[in-house]
Amino acid sequence: MKPGKVYLIGSGPGDVELMTLKAVRLLGEADVVLLDDLVNREVLRFVAPDAEIVDVGKRGGCKSTPQVSIHEQMLKHAQAGRIVARLKGGDPFVFGRGGEEMQCLVAAGVAVEVVSGVTAGVAVPAVLGIPLTHRDCARSVTFVTGHTRNDEPTDWRGLAGTGGTLVIYMGIANLSRIVAELLAAGLSPMLPAAVIQHGTLPQQRSVVTTLGELPAALPAHGIGSPAIVIIGEVVGIAGYVSKNPAICEVQL
């Protein structure tokens, strides 16, 4: 029996055209595709007709596939000699549990290769013309999750002191608390901020406002998860706003 292999593949932020050529090629070679919930289903057109497609989605507040079950399925198929495409939204190593899955596979002696994808924290702000770094006002950028396992605390005071751009993944449910902690840490309530939901997709919606107004702006404009939050001076120098008619914008 030929040896199996698992590819941990990032599908990008949503727009199919932002997938890498390598990701497209490997999807066509896979015997089985383990598919995350946030992956745009349009990518399935690149999968071989006889490949098995299994949904193993995870999303906060919804019924999710346990991580241990995903590990078991990867091992089962690979050890049976199959080529497995573990397809994730964004990049598998940026808040995608790709590191955990790689450790599981390596420990079991299963061949694994990581195929990077464009992470939402980079691609989505660009849709609104928001540069994450800028020589005049942002010399660093920090990617941070707004949702931690067992509600482990995040050092928002320390992050507020970096002086750079903050890009928050999975932060909508805890946004009011996060904003309160950042304000308490000394950030100005007038600091520009934005939230972009369904970034790079036709249903994209966004709010551009200030840090102090951010929690109230989201429900007022129907913005929810999945979304990326960007906080920093760079939001105020955004080059343009998408012409998508579904977009919502609050002027600074």
Closest listed residue to residue 7, CA positions, set 47, 37, 38: 47
Closest listed residue to residue 84, CA positions, set 71, 65, 96, 95: 71
CA–CA gap between residue 222 and residue 200 (Å, rounded): 18
In b/e form, how buried is each residue of 183-203, taking b as 16+ CB within 10 angstroms? beeebeeebbbbbbbbbbbee
DSSP state of 43: G
DSSP state of 42: G
CA–CA gap between residue 123 and residue 203 (Å, rounded): 16
CA–CA gap between residue 189 and residue 207 (Å, rounded): 16
List, in sequence order, the alpha helices (H) in the chain: 21-29, 67-79, 98-107, 120-127, 156-160, 175-184, 214-220
Cis ω for the linkage preceding 3 (within 30 of 0): no
Name the residues annotated as catalytic: 36, 58, 170
In b/e form, how buried is each residue of 16-36, taking b as 16+ CB within 10 angstroms? beebbeebbebbeebbbbbbb
